Amino acid sequence: MASEEVRIDKWLWAVRLYKTRSLATEGCKNGRVKIGGQPVKPSRIPKVGDIIDIHLNPLNKTVKVIALLHNRVGAKLVTDYLEDLTPPEEYERVKLIGEFNNEYRPRGTGRPTKSDRRQIDQLKGLHE
């Protein structure tokens, strides 16, 4: 289903970088999608070989356009249309952030008390 021209927001949605096309459009409008370091509009037409930087909070992903397509494809077919150039250190950083922001509470202990909430906030650095 490769095509000559497709909007960048539609391509980002089709290769599963955004869950919906509306989110892809918002990402472009808010400057989270860049080609060559320049923010792009949702109507921009990507070219094969373009390097796209996408800020997916908290991940900064870098991909290379291999082929264009109009319709969303299955997750296994995504590698036919883009090449992931994101450095492994970026994935490690996101994994580390996830580990530090995840406090453990045993199942069945109920909601945190006010005292528990203060301790959690103090660990996260929200309050002194």
Query: Quick one: DSSP state of residue 86?
Result: -
Q: Where are the alpha helices (DSSP H) in 69-111?
A: 88-100
115 located within any domain: no
pLDDT of residue 89: 94
Global pTM value: 0.75
Which amino acid, one-letter code, is at 16?
A: R
Nearest Cα neighbor of 2 from 77, 71, 68 is: 68
Is the confidence at residue 1, as pLDDT, over 90? Answer: no
59 located within any domain: yes
49 located within any domain: yes
Q: Kindly report the length of the chain.
A: 128
The CATH number covering residue 68 comes to 3.10.290.10
What is the mean pLDDT of the segment spanning 65-75? 94
CA dihedral 110, 114, 115, 117 (to 10 degrees): 70
Instruction: Residue 8: count other Cβ atoms within 10 Å of its Cβ.
Output: 23
Whole-number Cα distances in Å, 117 to 58, 106, 121? 24, 15, 6
Interval 109-122: pLDDT, tens:
888 889 988 887 88
